[in-house]
């Protein structure tokens, strides 16, 4: 047994420097092509549940290092049939902010109630509105990023970790067959309920100027029955958090949710995502409420003898880190054997016009896009963003990793706040699943072009780069 405390100063992960935040609305017009689901019977959005937003958070230290984190209520931008769509969005951001690709991180919330933001669907009903939406999105991100940088002021970013049980495992053995695994709530498997919350405060008066909520849960509450544009549960979550923080913008960052989603989902009733969002919002507020004042930590002050010997911890000022470092790394992800384009096109041509055929056609259409874009050397190369902000790590990548990705990375950095983000930057190709599932009949496996070794490789690269940055 230790005869003394090894560390009597318990400092939270924090960053102190300059911070700025800004927001723009990006809600597209009713009538835009929004058939995100294969089972949907509609093509165009018929209404608006809640507005869609883009929010930018900028940080800078005294040495002039800048990073801009941008969160947008978009499922994905572009697809493999229209690879230039992302450039339409990214070009004005790059030009107007004057930052490199590794200094700006775009995280898409992945709401499945946003429009299909790819001009490959321009010929579909409402598809003529997609290109203007992409242009508006790029300008809105650039506007918000410019304002966030222009309004940088001395501030402190502090982190806390909470819990929320909204996210549940969604790999369910079909009760009807006992073998097929379907995409929906599996109550027998525990889910990662980690909630990471950041609080950005103004050093002049201590007021909250922004919050960050990083959580892994597929925004798939609204699905094929829904005809309205919506941020899904993220909208109500923001309303709850912003209502309790003086209207400070809340930045939602979509975590590693490949195997996670709400238990109650796939509905058209917009009250359901609102309920989900309030649950997550109240959990975030609980984490925020547990924070000490900015720049304070708990320090062990000694023992007071009472009925029991009482260990006394008291708030004490400390010096937060000013470090900003990191950029992108290339991550080659190993591929598995896939059907050929010709084989997929033959299957598509054999289908009829029924609703089940339309859903299967959509499934095959998407797989054909993936196959047609694959590298011939057995690896597909993607960027991953690995940032150090103060004493914390921010890690983002384009694809959809299972939650074990964030769990293993956090285990590698005990005592360090790690924010993990799926669906970041460029358009991903599919799911990254654990090797044990490589031969399973699971949507996330047969949809994906990646082998079971891709996720461990990505994890190892991110851990190695994170350790280098924190060394």
pLDDT of the residue at 316: 95
The packing angle between helices 341-349 and 355-372, to 10°, is 160
Mark out the alpha helices in 340-390 (DSSP H runs): 341-349, 355-372
Tokens of 408: 């293993």
Q: What's the predicted TM-score (pTM) here?
A: 0.95
Longest CA–CA separation in the chain, Å: 82
Residue-by-residue pLDDT tens, the chain, 471 positions = 344 444 677 888 999 999 999 999 999 999 999 999 988 999 999 999 999 999 999 999 999 999 999 999 999 898 877 889 999 999 999 999 999 999 999 999 999 999 989 999 999 999 999 999 999 999 999 999 999 999 999 999 999 999 999 999 999 999 998 888 999 999 999 999 999 999 999 999 999 999 999 999 999 999 999 999 999 999 999 999 999 999 999 999 999 999 999 999 999 999 999 999 999 999 999 999 999 999 999 999 999 999 999 999 999 999 999 999 999 999 999 999 888 888 888 888 888 877 677 778 877 888 888 888 888 899 999 999 999 999 999 999 999 999 999 999 999 999 999 999 999 998 899 999 999 999 998 999 988 999 999 999 999 999 999 999 999
Do residues 229 and 27 make contact, with C-beta atoms less than 8 angstroms apart? yes
pLDDT of the residue at 3: 45
Q: What is the distance, to the nearest Å, from the Cα of residue 371 to the centroid of all Cα atoms in its chain?
A: 25
pLDDT of the residue at 257: 98
pLDDT of the residue at 190: 97
Do residues 344 and 338 make contact, with C-beta atoms less than 8 angstroms apart? no
Do residues 430 and 443 make contact, with C-beta atoms less than 8 angstroms apart? no
Q: Give CA–CA dist 7/314, Å, rounded.
A: 14
pLDDT of the residue at 353: 76
pLDDT of the residue at 372: 82
pLDDT of the residue at 7: 63
Phi-psi sector, 311: left (phi>0), alpha (psi -120 to 50), beta: beta
pLDDT of the residue at 365: 81
SS (H, E, C) 283-321: HHHHHHHCCCCCCEEEEEEEEEECCCEEEEEEEEECCCE
pLDDT of the residue at 450: 95
């Amino acid at each position: 047994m230790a005869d003394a405390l090894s560390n009597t100063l318990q400092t939270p992960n924090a960053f102190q420097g300059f911070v700025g935040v800004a927001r723009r609305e990006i809600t597209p017009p009713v009538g835009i092509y929004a058939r995100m689901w294969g089972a949907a019977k509609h093509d165009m959005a018929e209404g608006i549940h809640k507005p869609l937003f883009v929010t930018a958070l900028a940080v800078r230290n005294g040495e002039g290092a800048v990073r801009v984190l941008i969160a947008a209520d978009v499922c994905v931008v572009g697809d493999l049939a229209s690879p230039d769509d992302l450039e339409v969005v990214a070009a004005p951001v790059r030009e107007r902010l004057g930052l490199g690709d590794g200094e700006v991180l775009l995280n898409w919330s992945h709401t499945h109630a946003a429009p299909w933001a790819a001009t490959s669907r321009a010929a579909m009903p409402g598809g003529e509105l997609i290109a203007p939406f992409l242009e508006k999105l790029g300008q809105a991100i650039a506007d918000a990023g410019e304002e966030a940088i222009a309004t940088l002021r001395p501030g402190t970013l502090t982190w806390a970790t909470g819990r929320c049980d909204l996210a549940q495992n969604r790999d369910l053995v079909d009760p009807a067959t006992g073998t097929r695994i379907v995409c929906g709530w599996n109550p027998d498997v525990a889910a990662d309920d980690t909630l990471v919350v950041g609080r950005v405060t103004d050093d002049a008066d201590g007021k909250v100027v922004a919050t960050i909520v990083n959580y892994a849960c597929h925004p798939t509450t609204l699905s094929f029955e829904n005809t309205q544009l919506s941020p899904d549960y993220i909208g109500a979550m923001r309303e709850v958090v912003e209502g309790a923080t003086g209207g400070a913008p809340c930045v939602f960052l979509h975590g590693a949710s490949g195997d996670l989603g709400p238990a109650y989902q796939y509905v058209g009733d917009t009250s359901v995502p609102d309920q989900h969002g309030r649950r997550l919002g109240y959990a975030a507020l609980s984490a925020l409420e547990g924070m000490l004042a900015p720049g304070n930590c708990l320090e062990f002050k000694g023992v007071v003898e009472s009925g029991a010997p009482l260990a006394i911890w008291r708030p004490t000022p400390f010096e937060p880190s000013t470090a900003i470092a990191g950029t992108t790394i290339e991550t080659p992800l190993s591929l598995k054997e896939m059907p050929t384009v010709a084989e997929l096109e033959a299957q598509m041509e054999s289908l009829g016009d029924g609703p089940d055929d339309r859903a299967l056609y959509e499934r095959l259409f998407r797989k054909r896009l993936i196959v047609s874009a694959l590298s011939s050397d057995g690896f597909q190369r993607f960027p991953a963003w690995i940032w150090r902000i103060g004493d914390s790590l921010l890690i983002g990548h384009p694809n959809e990793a299972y939650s074990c990705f964030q769990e293993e990375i956090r285990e590698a950095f005990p005592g360090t706040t790690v924010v993990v983000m799926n669906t970041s930057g460029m358009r991903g190709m599919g799911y990254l699943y654990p090797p044990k599932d490589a031969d399973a009949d699971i949507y996330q496996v047969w949809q994906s072009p990646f082998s079971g070794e891709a996720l461990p490789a990505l994890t190892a690269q991110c851990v190695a780069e994170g350790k280098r940055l924190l060394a």
